[in-house]
Amino acid sequence: MCGICGLWQRDGVIDQVALTRMNDVQAHRGPDDSGAYLSADGRLGLGFRRLAIIDLSPTGHQPMRNEDGKLWIVFNGEIYNYPALRKELVRAGHEFRSTSDTEVVLHGYEEWGERILDRLRGMFAFALWDDERRTLLLARDRLGIKPLLYYWDGKRFAFASEIKSLLALPAANTDLDHSALWDYFTYLYIPTPKTAYKYIRKLPPACYLKIESDFVSEGKLAPPIKEYWDVTQWGTSPLSRSDAAEAVRAKLRDAVQSHLIADVPVGVFLSGGLDSTAVTAMAAGAQPDPLMSFSIGFDVEEHSELAFAQLAADTFGARHFTRTVSQPDFDSALARMVSLYDEPFADNSGLPTLAVSQLAASRVKVVLAGDGGDETMAGYFRYRRWLEIAGEDFGSPALRHWLFERFALGALAPIAGWPKVMGLVYSGQLHVRGKEGADRYGALVCPVQSFQKPHLLPDLAREFRDYDDYWHFRRYWRDDLDPISRMQYVDLKTYLPDDILTKVDRASMAASLEVRVPFLDHEWVELAASLPSEFRLDKSIMREALVGMVPAEILNRPKKGFSSPVLDWQKPQLRNGARLAGSALWAARVFDTWQTLCGSPT
């Protein structure tokens, strides 16, 4: 787990001081070592910060080259099947100087070119420079576990693990992308490929970008991006229910144990929920020393799950460590949390994720986490709610939409009565019933509705009057899939990488901690997707697979997300005459804090 960056100059040599600055601002991602490479003509440079996990010796130093120095790589992540790939490459005649997984990727590219991506099992973001062909390859793992962003202004191409590294470029164009800021108040994150800045973009998951020197020299507008993987086999498995349960149990065990490969101790995040407990169950006993587990609680009882986490830890003999977070912790952490993400990001569970990462980092360098279980095993309540609403629908879509506009936003929505009206809207799901397809899903899952956004961003309301707020969902909305698979596919492509995995990466790396997510092992994802949707819904097949392994109190308890009592700690606030509550208020506060930190007006 590391931080990577690089700079390619169209005219003349790169600014080496700028490259050093880009590398240094990511020092938290890799405090163990740093390195840089400069091409012979001085036009390209690579930077690296190392968190040493596999091959702790100097031979794991990066940037890393091949035998003749024609290929150079900077790599962030872990490849869990690298021992098998290494054996295959040795048989093909390759010679290794280290025991690192990075060198396997380097030699794998020599042997298979871009097809190496199909062979990698793990999480990764890397940049590989071919000095002989003058090409630069950037690639990101299948599910988007590790980040990779790039900057292109027609003269300089740069990439990094975090936006702050790209903002360290001298005279970087930091014009804001107003459409991204408008999107933020829909999703509470900025969707891929956008960032808050026009000239900085995110490389999508399961994609690679390969550019050649003529691209940089000609100043083309956008680099070509290709997708190398997707989830395609939904509901195609012929397995019976009992066989499916056995396959789920076996594949989860395989995924977890493959994720334990390391030259340092590995712990677990343990919330007391089903997913983290399942990971703990599969990891317990697989290491010579007792497993270390880490949990966060809150001073608001309804948000604290410490009792369930302790039960799981006791069941599996883990050394358990806890911390309780209170309102003073929140007040001091907000500005830091906003600065971690470099752009507006309003998932309030980022605060406890940062706290539990700091707790774990005091004892280990690597943890396993249960993220991805809800997306791969249809665990979110909204999946079932979608089916319930579909069964309750009345009238035509046009009629339902007219009733919503007329009833909720017209006669009953003067500003003075806003809170009461919003209670009626949300309790009756009126904002959802008036829509279909991706629009309905957006209305169901997005905390801030389209009709609220003009109150939050009045200066942009006119510019985006006819804007498609749910374009991000619409890109992946597949009418050929059953409803459950359709929503899962959208979440795997949008909410998972842009919210959940972004939150975990930035919070954990701020503490110099590597987080691994076995539920996002691509072999597990493919197996889960192949099962009938009724097996997946509410994680029913996974619960069957874990009977006798996970305590019944945890196995049968209702889902509870990793939330924090941020809204309990907030005070009512008026903004532009409209009373905003819940997520809208939190989004506004995060946005205001971000503006203060970056000094950028809307």
Percent of the chain with pLDDT over 90: 69
**2 labelled catalytic:** yes
pLDDT at 309: 95
pLDDT tens-digit map of 397-406:
544 444 444 4
The mean per-residue pLDDT over the stretch 470-491 comes to 96
Alpha-carbon distance of 418 to 421, in angstroms, equals 5
Residue type, position 75, single letter: F
Residues 117, 208 contacting (CB under 8 angstroms):
yes
pLDDT tens-digit map of 511-551:
999 999 999 999 999 999 999 999 999 999 999 999 999 99
pLDDT tens-digit map of 362-402:
999 999 999 999 999 999 999 999 888 877 654 445 444 44
Topology of domain 2-175+193-227, CATH? Glutamine Phosphoribosylpyrophosphate, subunit 1, domain 1 (3.60.20)
Under the banding of pLDDT at 50, 70 and 90, the label for residue 9 is confident
pLDDT tens-digit map of 418-462:
444 444 444 445 567 667 899 999 999 998 888 888 888 888 999
CB < 8 Å & 24+ apart, contacts of 285-291:
285/316, 285/317, 286/256, 286/257, 286/260, 287/260, 289/265, 290/317, 290/318, 290/319, 291/267, 291/316, 291/317, 291/318, 291/319
Alpha-carbon distance of 337 to 335, in angstroms, equals 5
The number of beta carbons lying within 10 Å of the beta carbon of residue 396 is 9
| Higher pLDDT among residues 170 and 403, named by residue | 170
Q: What are phi and psi of 60, to 5 degrees?
A: -90, 5
pLDDT tens-digit map of 307-331:
999 999 999 999 999 998 887 777 6
The mean per-residue pLDDT over the stretch 112-121 comes to 97
DSSP string, 167-184: HTSTT----B-HHHHHHH
The mean per-residue pLDDT over the stretch 253-260 comes to 97
Residues 280, 311 contacting (CB under 8 angstroms):
no
pLDDT at 398: 44
Q: Which residues pair with 127 in a beta bridge?
A: 74, 138
pLDDT at 406: 43
Residue 342 has pLDDT above 90, yes or no: yes
Under the banding of pLDDT at 50, 70 and 90, the label for residue 468 is very high
Under the banding of pLDDT at 50, 70 and 90, the label for residue 301 is low
| Higher pLDDT among residues 62 and 592, named by residue | 62
The mean per-residue pLDDT over the stretch 326-342 comes to 80
pLDDT at 435: 74
Residues 168, 25 contacting (CB under 8 angstroms):
yes
Residue 95 has pLDDT above 90, yes or no: yes
pLDDT tens-digit map of 117-155:
999 999 999 999 999 999 999 999 999 999 999 999 888
Q: Which of 130, 15, 59 is nearest to 7 (CA)?
A: 15
pLDDT at 456: 84
pLDDT at 323: 92
Alpha-carbon distance of 260 to 253, in angstroms, equals 11
Tell me what the pLDDT averaged over the chain comes to: 88
Percent of the chain with pLDDT over 70: 86
Indicate where the chain has its CATH 3.40.50.620 domain(s).
241-379+492-568
Indicate where the chain has its CATH 3.60.20.10 domain(s).
2-175+193-227
Among 2, 207, 446, 598, which one carries the catalytic annotation?
Answer: 2
Residue 415 has pLDDT above 50, yes or no: no
Q: Which residues pair with 123 in a beta bridge?
A: 78
pLDDT at 115: 97
Domain 241-379+492-568 has CATH 3.40.50.620: yes
pLDDT at 1: 67
Residues 404, 431 contacting (CB under 8 angstroms):
yes
Q: Which residues pair with 37 in a beta bridge?
A: 46
Q: Which of 559, 585, 584 is nearest to 571 (CA)?
A: 585
The mean per-residue pLDDT over the stretch 231-239 comes to 96
pLDDT at 551: 95
pLDDT at 92: 96
Residue 157 has pLDDT above 90, yes or no: yes
The mean per-residue pLDDT over the stretch 233-252 comes to 97
| Distance between first and last Cα of the chain | 35
pTM here? 0.91
pLDDT at 591: 87
